[in-house]
Structure 1
Amino acid sequence: MMTSSIEGSLLLHHTKNKGDIAATKAIADLTLKGYLILTPVVCEHLPFDFVAYKDNKCYKIPLLCHFPRGQSRLSLMRQ
């Protein structure tokens, strides 16, 4: 499904937009908890969305997004 933005000049993919919102919330939360966030620059088809780093440990973070009935819930799974 394609939806237009407020300006009407840019089309956004609905499900990708939800994933971007979930990633932004997760990154903000982990940053507040003291993690350094590393994101891929070139490849979008990795088995994780970003890497969280803290106390000399790296955690690959894949995001699973669930949006039932207008609510948002984010599941983080450490790999």
Structure 2
Amino acid sequence: MAAEQNLLKGLGHFGMVDVFRAEHGYGDLDIRDVSHGQKRFDHIFASESLKSIDCQYLDHDNDCSDHNPIVTDFDLQG
């Protein structure tokens, strides 16, 4: 977890954020908030100027992948 945080928080120097963590914080993750097993291998990085409305991992039936898809809705009007 510490290695993930160091890497992901360091993106701020480049004007980028981990959209999921910007919305949900860096606390403990619920099982619905992971992409594979107990870990977050899938991320969405975006410019700080993009405003995320919602970012979440979707539950799926594992037919196509062993990872849960992560989806973000951005407010492109504001």
User: TM-score band (shorter)?
Assistant: under 0.3
The structure, 1 or 2, with the larger RCO (C-alpha pairs under 8 Å, 6+ apart) is: 2
TM-score, L = length of structure 1: 0.27
Structure with bigger gyration radius:
1
Structure showing the higher strand proportion among its residues: 1
